[in-house]
Structure 1
Amino acid sequence: MVKVITDDSLANLPTVAIAAKIDAMAAQGKGRDLLDYLPEQFYGYHGRSSGEINRIKGYTFAAFLKTGLPDEAIPFVLDELENGLDAYLVAGAARALRGLNHALPAASSYLIKAFYNMLFMDDALSFESFNVKYPLSSYTTPLSEILETMKWLKVEDKHTLDALEKVYAVHQNILSKSAKTLLLETIELSRPHISVENDCCAIPLHAPVHTFIHKRRMRREVQEQVRLEDQDEQALSYNDFFTSGFTVLIFFYTRCDNPNKCSLSVSRFSRLQYLLEEKRLNQIRLAGITYDAGYDVSSRLKSYGDNRGFAFNRQQRFFRVTSGFETLRSYLNLGVNYAGSVVNNHAIELYILDKKGNVKVAQTRLQWNPEEIRDILISLLSKKESVSIRKVLRIAGNTLSGILIAFFPKCPVCWAGYMSLFGAIGLQSIPYTPQLFYVVLMGMLLNLYVNYRTCRKKNIRNAFYINVLGCFLVITGYLWKFQFAIYGGIVALLISSMYINLSGIFQSLFRNKNNQRIWLSQETGRQFRSTELQDLKLK
């Protein structure tokens, strides 16, 4: 996992000083150290312009050709090839792939996308040093770097070869002489290796799926501090919307100047909305949150969604965060950075949250597919139903055991009470020693402590109070030889046991006016670790 450097001093370093650090790491072959410069949250990007960030990141990508490209950097490289529109950054990403120590045929489709992105933006540039002097004596271009990398990969699938031949047939008149030569060389080198069965487009490529560990304290801070305003200027808290079931959440902002990111994400969100309606999955909530709350007022959010086919309703809304954004940003580790209040760098981000606000799936960087997200949601819903059935069976089993424990005699006095109640035998027929009372007393206190822990976790303290009452009545009934107190204690223990074991059912039956559970669920307070549904599949 790529870490995020949190050193404030980096934000104050001149750009050339950061470039010098990159040169030093490249000279020493420290490719893994260069990973720290890739995340959008990198502190060295705070307060800088987008142009400066593109230069630093592009120069970092190019350095991987010397140091070797770690596998952890591949999603960042593919992200720029698929979505990038800056010539320097895309050229650096294409060059970085040649630092791999293994073949990556699946990258061919991303290089084709990058080729089309750069087709009318090809420009002379150099990675020889960070501060180059013009005119350039030797230079490269984004298209040259892309084609050099495709030659290095040795394209092996027919789909990519067909795409290259189409590019040459349609666009040869606008390609530079060097780009045209490289394109023809790539096509000729690829033809002997083509296999119809080896089709890279049959290889599913997914955005990296993160693993999250959510602590109760972090979740509580988000629920308490985050306040929202939707596209209709309705103010609400985080809990009002995000704790009633599964929610698909995307991040965007209306001033984004890259059509491959925010605009496309919202358009695909509209497509996902249609797919969910088609499957009658109306219980799924859809939410979009802007990175730019100061500029994206409610009217802008509504207009942005309307223009991209998103249908707003109570279950499907866009929000701006009016307070607590830094808490939410830290909770989700959002891939965004700022220069003042202006977004200067951000990733594509989609999250699927459960009813507690925990992240079940996080697809970031690479463009996500609405059909795949729909299928993941269907899988999560079916899993939830099966888990609920198992939980009901477990509650039933625990209830039965609770009833048996409550009625089972825990001491001779209780046994006498039972037998007297049913008219079977009397107290004098049971052999008893005084020391047995203290053993039973210790067992009862231990059971009381266990019940206290359980009731505290489930937030059902009334059950614990009833349990204390039952123990008190049994003990006092024994000491003062008052059988009705013993019977009352047994009944109290029975009620307490049923209360504890049936609380899960009560939680699902009784809800407050916001359709939220009155009691905390049984799992509240535990750490939650999401399971990675899919890794980036590389072949």
Structure 2
Amino acid sequence: MGEDREPTGLLGLLDEASPAHAGRSAAETARLRAEALLSLGASGLPDAALPFVVEELESGSEPLLVAAAARAARGRRPVDPRLTRPLLQALRNLAERDDTVSFGSPRPAPGTSGTTPLSEILATLRELELSSAARDELRDLARREGPLFAGAVRTALEDVAGPAGHCCGGGMPATPALDDGRQAAVGPVPREVEVEDQDGRRLALADFFGHAPTVVAFFYTRCDNPRKCSLTITSLAELCRDLADRLGSVQVAAVTYDPGFDIPARLRRYGSDRGLPFGPAVRMFRTVAGWDLLRAHFGLRVGYTASVVNRHGIELFLLDGGRVVRIWSRTRWAPADVARQLGGAR
């Protein structure tokens, strides 16, 4: 797929904010990222590429990118056992959809063969020495109902799982700690950044962040991947429940990537539908001034075609004294882990 590039340039193509993605459609950016993943896999899959492989396996919704991530994982010899959990999550995410994709052309010629996310995931799992827990999970998947897990697929899952009683240790290796190289600003948010909350109240975002340690997530209501924005806000709601007796001394905020579309009524409806308990310490915001300043301040992983988001990452920040002190990026974050981190804030 495409011309050869140096690994550093390929890694740049995986950044949603790369100028290479500006103005492109979501499908075009997906194909560029798939090309980069496959090329990085062919060069041995450097550590810096792991966060992007994990993100696509855990949270990806596009068959082309999930398949490319699974194939890229085989670029490591041996395959990194810490990718077991993300690979199994990718299997669970497939549900009943396993589209045929082609790495060579957006529209392969009739009669040419392609591949599927499922076949790429299974090929990668076959190269791992799976623990008993991973084998048990594969056997459970093989018993699922539905067309995706029927016939040959069920046989393949059982083959990868191996016979009962065969194991290589009990538990699964933890997913690797991820650092996608983000450089967030060290100072407070610029005062020029003005926001409007879900009730139409306007303020300088720096004033809100200055009140107390704050967890900040980014999202947008038009996101069509339920494992990204919708799950992010649902997880924020769970975090708020965990922090119920501390809200006020800590804060939770969600800021939209799509301030022109996400007017206050849309913010309130989106948050309420996912259980977010709005109040003085729990708010959703859209920028009304200074969006580019805010985007640069956090080093946000988001790209646009015109004013529409064409791709974004998963990103969550912990601020203390208005400054970034912790970032969760690419991988799914657990509300309990964030709550523990808040315990160390002032």
Question: Does the alignment pair 1:143 with 2:118?
Answer: yes
Shift of 1:174: 3.7
**Structure 1 residues 176 and 36 mapped into 2: Cα distance closer, same or farther (>3 Å)?**
farther
**Structure 1 residues 136 and 65 mapped into 2: Cα distance closer, same or farther (>3 Å)?**
farther
Contact 1:247–1:353 (CA under 8 A) maintained in structure 2: yes
SS at match of 1:170: coil
**Structure 1 residues 254 and 43 mapped into 2: Cα distance closer, same or farther (>3 Å)?**
same
Shift of 1:189: 7.8
SS at match of 1:20: coil
Question: Does the alignment pair 1:361 with 2:326?
Answer: yes
- Specify the code of the residue in structure 2 equivalent to 1:305: G
Contact 2:256–2:285 (CA under 8 A) maintained in structure 1: yes
Aligned match of 1:269: 236
SS at match of 1:319: strand
Shift of 1:248: 0.7
Aligned match of 1:314: 280
Query: Larger % of strand: which?
Result: 2
Shift of 1:58: 1.6
1: distance between equivalents of 2:37 and 2:156?
A: 22
Contact 1:210–1:361 (CA under 8 A) maintained in structure 2: no
Shift of 1:118: 2.0
Aligned match of 1:49: 25
2: distance between equivalents of 1:242 and 1:98?
A: 43
Contact 1:59–1:130 (CA under 8 A) maintained in structure 2: no
**What is the TM-score normalised by the length of structure 1?**
0.61
Q: Point out which structure has higher relative CO (alpha carbons under 8 A, 6+ apart).
A: 2
2: distance between equivalents of 1:212 and 1:240?
A: 23
Question: Does the alignment pair 1:165 with 2:139?
Answer: yes
Question: Does the alignment pair 1:130 with 2:80?
Answer: no
Aligned match of 2:212: 245
1: distance between equivalents of 2:195 and 2:258?
A: 13
**Structure 1 residues 211 and 344 mapped into 2: Cα distance closer, same or farther (>3 Å)?**
closer
Aligned match of 2:318: 352
Aligned match of 1:255: 222
Which has the larger Rg? 1
Question: Does the alignment pair 1:195 with 2:169?
Answer: yes
Residue segments in structure 1 that go unaligned for 5+ positions in a row: 1-18, 382-539
Runs of 4+ in 1 over 6 A off after TM superposition: none
SS at match of 2:162: helix
Shift of 1:159: 1.7
Shift of 1:137: 2.6
2: distance between equivalents of 1:215 and 1:175?
A: 49
Question: Does the alignment pair 1:323 with 2:289?
Answer: yes
Shift of 1:380: 2.6
Shift of 1:214: 3.8
Shift of 1:244: 1.9
Aligned match of 1:293: 259
- Two-structure CA RMSD over aligned residues (Å): 2.2
Matches within 5 A, 1:105-504: 105-127=81-103, 129-130=104-105, 133-155=108-130, 157-171=131-145, 174-175=148-149, 179-188=153-162, 192-196=166-170, 199-200=171-172, 203=174, 206-208=177-179, 212=183, 214=185, 219=188, 222-278=189-245, 280=246, 282-355=248-321, 357-381=322-346
Residue segments in structure 2 that go unaligned for 5+ positions in a row: none
**Structure 1 residues 103 and 92 mapped into 2: Cα distance closer, same or farther (>3 Å)?**
closer
Shift of 1:117: 1.7
Shift of 1:175: 3.6
Aligned match of 1:20: 2
2: distance between equivalents of 1:104 and 1:20?
A: 27
Shift of 1:283: 0.5
Question: Does the alignment pair 1:95 with 2:102?
Answer: no
The count of residues paired between Structure 1 and Structure 2 equals 346
Aligned match of 1:390: none
CA-to-aligned-CA distance 1:202-251 (integer Å, 9 cap, x gap): x36555386756455xx4xx433100111111111123211122111011
2: distance between equivalents of 1:95 and 1:364?
A: 22
Shift of 1:42: 1.2
**Structure 1 residues 190 and 141 mapped into 2: Cα distance closer, same or farther (>3 Å)?**
farther
Query: Larger % of helix: which?
Result: 1
Contact 1:229–1:321 (CA under 8 A) maintained in structure 2: yes
Give me the identity figure in percent: 35
- Specify the code of the residue in structure 1 equivalent to 2:119: S
2: distance between equivalents of 1:33 and 1:275?
A: 42
CA-to-aligned-CA distance 1:91-129 (integer Å, 9 cap, x gap): 0000000011344222111111111222322122222x2
2: distance between equivalents of 1:200 and 1:183?
A: 17
1: distance between equivalents of 2:41 and 2:150?
A: 25
2: distance between equivalents of 1:88 and 1:239?
A: 40
2: distance between equivalents of 1:75 and 1:347?
A: 11
